[in-house]
Structures are given as C-alpha cells and as structure tokens.
Amino acid sequence: MVCEKLKPAVSGLESEFPGKVIGRNVDATTQEGKDTIKELGFKNHGLVIRDEAGKALKELTASSKAPS
C-alpha cells in the first residue's frame, strides 16, 4: 500500500527539519481520520502543508499535477 510506504517519509521530515516541521499521519480507517479526509476534500489521501498558524499553504493528492 502506497500510504504505508510514505508514512516514514512524512514522519522523517521532523528529524530532517528539527523545530521547523511537524509531520502527522492520519489513519484513514478510523472515524476521526475519515472525518479529517472529508474536511480536506480528499477522495482518499493526500498531503497538506500548513504554515505555523495552521493555514493550508498547499494540498497535494494523487491526482495533483507535478510542478513544471
């Protein structure tokens, strides 16, 4: 499963950028996770980059177009 393979990468961001990044994985099999995914408008999974105030700066999903 792709999500399981990416989990260490997301969590690893905290060690790569100490004090600057907080990585959080959401379990899409729990009700809380399902609610979070629905709130974000994702069909199933994605990545959200937020600023220190919690404002979403970028949302990426499997269907997001790669930057050119």
List pLDDT tens digits, range 12-51.
888 888 888 877 778 888 999 889 888 888 876 778 888 8
Summarised one tens digit per residue, pLDDT across range 40-66 is 888 767 788 888 888 888 887 766 555
Residue 62 token pair: 């499997």
Measure the CA–CA gap between 28 and 30, rounded to whole angstroms: 6
Domain ranges of the chain: 2-61
Q: Looking at residue 1, what is its pLDDT?
A: 46
Nearest to 2 by CA among 61, 42, 66: 61
- Locate all alpha helices (DSSP H) within the chain, ordered by sequence: 2-16, 31-40
End-to-end CA separation in angstroms for the chain: 27
